[in-house]
Amino acid sequence: MAKWDDIYCSLVEQILTEGRRVSNRTGVDTIKLPFAHFTLNVGEEFPILSVKQLFLRQAVLEMLWIYQAQSNDVRWLQERDVHIWDKWEIDENGEWKDEKTGKVLKKFDPSMAHTIGTAYGYVVRKYRLIDRLIDSLKNDPEDRRRVVSLWQDAELDTAVLPSCVWSSEWDVTDGKLNVLVHQRSCDTGLGLPFNVTQYAVLMSMIAQVCGLKVGRLDWSIKDAHIYVDQVEQMKELLRRWKETEPLPAPKLWLNPEITDFYAFDSSRDIKDVRLEGYSHRGKLAMPLTQ
């Protein structure tokens, strides 16, 4: 079985057995651990779950929306049939509303309609985070100040949702690119599998265009939680993990001709990215909490 399956399922089991039930701003309680950490060697094994199906196309496009298109416009995703951020889209009146009650949760300038405000890709573009990262990796590989922070205090009040995966630190050792990712709040059931695969693809792309090998991905989480309406699905996931035969990890293929991060295809079909040999145990649908 892929190492990522073991790490992920062990974390899920720990949350369910040791976690504490708490309330939060969404109105749906969670079971949480205050902190979690794990390490993956992406250069040896690409992390994507096999105990449930993960849709690589949607995961990669959301990542490219943030770091390549550097957009906060939800329509960019919708045009590519990705609807991850629909629940957080500001409407034409500049209002972000509760999807169930219609209550206005936050008010924005109407010019921010169809966006998620000053978050994620907006921050990447404004502060030239990817350009500066690539320049440093290419021209100053020993640099110890490569911090890509999506948490910018000046932008928080005008963001629909402050970044959950908010920071990454990038290191080069022995020609290998290593990344440390920080996540302030982690929807372990839905978000974490997406996020880990996204950053594994991102670091692989950045390594390729910078002439580096892919190394390790370290992940730290503050508030690793499972929503209570996801518990039964998580129990099914654990059953699959314990009672079915292990499946091998797939290989990530990136178009080897791409030498510019901005040249990776970001159309609906992400033609420069694919998985080879991906086997999984099928879908496991879960509610997404706004």
* Residues taking part in catalysis: 164
The secondary structure of 203-234 as a DSSP string is HHHHHHHTT-EEEEEEEEEEEEEEEGGGHHHH
List 226's β-bridge partners, or say none.
31
Q: How far apart are CA 204 and CA 191, in angstroms?
A: 20
Residue 19 per-residue DSSP state? -
Name the amino acid, one letter, at 138: K
Cβ-count burial of 4 within 10 angstroms (0-12 exposed, 13-18 middle, 19+ buried)?
buried
Which residues does 263 contact at the CB level (< 8 Å), separation at least 6? none
